[in-house]
């Protein structure tokens, strides 16, 4: 049982995401800032029909949404997991739109104090969606407040001090919690078990990303050739957020240096300036692979050692770089650490010498 004191209401809640724009450019492969979020917001699909990819998941969600509407009940709590940039927040927005309900968006690091989550829960209207990003980072107290809120829609509160303390049960409107995480494995089992629907988002195919690229170019009112769209799609690491940022950068080139159309040539020029190669790898990825090859003979090497050696945060490597390098077959996870694949040696122009029989098998 979570007991929350009335002191928890005394200050203003700052946990809901601010949408103020801080105008600054970020690398295409980094996590998003407010400026990116504003751009992302303008191009986000709002309905299932305009949301490209994740077809199986989308079809299941359509049924759940339809059933909830027929029953006139909120949707079950939902958990989305998968690498960043694949559309977890976008899907939550689509669900809210299709359900015809409001959505409040926050993230676990913003829910530091009990009053942060309590304030949000108490501001929810019946049927509304609460979206919590990076939900694996919730602290224990906040998590325990969420358990009865998710399960039975109430909060346990205490009023008064020491001897005169009274407990009361505060009912909450029925709501849907949508949690998003890049690390489903780090969720505690009591929290994970309270989600009725758990879904993994997959990397997008080149064809799906080509559609995303064309759609975004259309919204930005920029012409794009098929070749231009395919070039951007194939360098976008299976990730719409990256594809969209590349469209934006390529459109700047098209407008400033060419006649306003993103052609294959324009796309290549933009990618070259951004130092993104045909695999969609950027400088950080290449530095990481080269370091593993040159300093650790291709691995296996532990993630902490790699992070320290290239001066990156372990979490950035695990969440941002590694999922795609694994998916593209450029690195492999072994019980003793990460190992570079022969494909990565070839791609970076290294000879394959030094590979034992076993390592050349994959």
Q: Which residues bind ligand ADE (CB under 6 A)?
A: 43, 45, 51-53, 87, 90, 212, 215, 240, 244
237: β partners: none
Using the minimum distance from each CB to ligand ADE, give the nearer residue, 53 or 280: 53
| Contact status, residue 9 vs residue 115, Cβ threshold 8 Å | yes
Report helix, strand or coil for 130. Answer: strand
CA 277 to each of CA 175, 248, 273, 284, 286: distance values in angstroms, whole numbers, following the listed order: 45, 17, 10, 12, 9
Angle at 323 between CA 318 and CA 329, to 5 degrees: 130
Instruction: Look at the alpha carbons of 136, 141, 143, 146 in this order and tell me if their dihedral is positive or negative.
Output: negative
Tokens of 355: 């590979």
As measured in angstroms, the least distance from the Cβ of 191 to ligand ADE is 26
Q: Where are the beta strands (DSSP E) in 119-207?
A: 129-133, 154-159, 166-171, 176-181, 197-200
CB of 56 to ligand ADE, least distance (A): 14
Annotated catalytic residue, options 37, 44, 88, 137: 88
CB of 147 to ligand ADE, least distance (A): 32
Measured from the CB atom, the residue of 97 and 287 that comes closer to ligand ADE is 97
Nearer to ligand ADE, 146 or 212 (CB): 212
Give CA–CA dist 349/146, Å, rounded: 51
Q: How far is the CB of 212 from ligand ADE (least distance, A)?
A: 5
d(CA 304, CA 222): 43
182 given a catalytic annotation: yes
Q: Is 156 helix (H, G, I), strand (E, B) or coil?
A: strand
What's the CA dihedral at 225, 226, 232, 234 to 10 degrees?
Answer: -170
Closer Cβ to ligand ADE, 53 or 148, answer by number:
53
133 is catalytic: yes
How far apart CA 134 and CA 179 sit, in angstroms, is 8
Q: To the nearest whole angstrom, how small is the minimum distance from the Cβ of residue 84 to ligand ADE?
A: 12
* φ, ψ of residue 313 in degrees (nearest 5): -75, 140
Q: How far is the CB of 113 from ligand ADE (least distance, A)?
A: 33
Shortest distance (Å) from residue 86 CB to ligand ADE: 8
Task: Write down the catalytic residue from 90, 182, 210, 216.
Answer: 182
CB neighbour list of residue 51: distance below 8 Å, 6 or more residues apart: 45, 58, 87, 90, 91, 94
**Is 89 assigned a catalytic role?**
yes
Q: One of 116, 133, 282, 285 is an active-site residue; which one? A: 133
- Select 217 or 292, whichever has its Cβ closest to ligand ADE: 217
Taking the least distance from each CB to ligand ADE, the nearer of 9 and 48 is: 48
Catalytic residue among 8, 36, 37, 89: 89
What is the spatial distance between Cα 71 and Cα 65, in angstroms, rounded to a whole number?
10
> Toward ligand ADE, which CB reaches closer, 215 or 268?
215
Cα separation, 257 vs 252, in Å, equals 8
User: Catalytic residue positions?
Assistant: 88-89, 133, 182, 241
């Amino acid at each position: 049982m979570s007991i929350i004191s009335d002191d928890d209401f005394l200050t203003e809640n700052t946990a809901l995401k601010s949408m103020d724009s801080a105008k600054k450019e970020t690398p295409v492969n980094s996590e998003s800032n407010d400026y990116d979020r504003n751009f992302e917001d303008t191009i986000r699909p709002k309905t299932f029909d305009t949301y490209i990819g994740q077809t199986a998941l989308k079809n299941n969600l359509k049924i759940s949404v339809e059933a909830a509407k027929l029953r006139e009940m909120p949707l079950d709590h939902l958990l989305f997991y998968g690498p960043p940039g694949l559309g977890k927040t976008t899907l939550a927005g689509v669900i809210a739109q299709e359900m015809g309900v409001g959505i409040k968006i926050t993230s676990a690091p913003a829910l530091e104090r009990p009053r942060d989550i309590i304030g949000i829960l108490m501001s929810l209207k019946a049927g509304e969606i609460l979206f919590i990003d990076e939900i694996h980072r919730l602290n224990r107290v906040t998590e325990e407040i969420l358990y009865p809120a998710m399960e039975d829609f109430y909060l346990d509160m205490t009023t008064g001090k020491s001897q005169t303390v009274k407990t009361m049960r505060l009912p909450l409107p029925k709501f849907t919690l949508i949690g998003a995480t890049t690390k489903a494995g780090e969720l505690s089992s009591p929290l994970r078990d309270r989600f009725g629907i758990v879904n993994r988002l997959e990397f997008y195919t080149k064809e799906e990303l080509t559609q995303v690229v064309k759609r975004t170019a259309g919204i930005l009112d920029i012409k794009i050739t098929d070749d231009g769209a395919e070039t951007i799609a194939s360098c976008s690491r299976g990730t719409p957020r990256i594809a969209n940022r590349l469209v934006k950068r390529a459109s700047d080139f098209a407008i400033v240096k060419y006649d306003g159309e993103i052609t294959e040539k324009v796309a290549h020029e933009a990618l070259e300036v951004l130092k993104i190669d045909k695999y969609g790898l950027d400088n950080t990825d290449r530095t990481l692979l080269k370091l593993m090859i040159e300093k650790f003979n291709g691995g296996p090497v532990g993630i902490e050692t790699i992070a320290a050696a290239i001066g990156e945060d372990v979490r950035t490597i695990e969440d941002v770089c590694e999922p795609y390098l694994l998916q593209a077959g450029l690195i492999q996870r072994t019980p003793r650490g990460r190992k570079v694949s022969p494909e990565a040696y070839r791609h970076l122009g290294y000879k394959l010498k030094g590979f034992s029989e076993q390592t050349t098998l994959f």
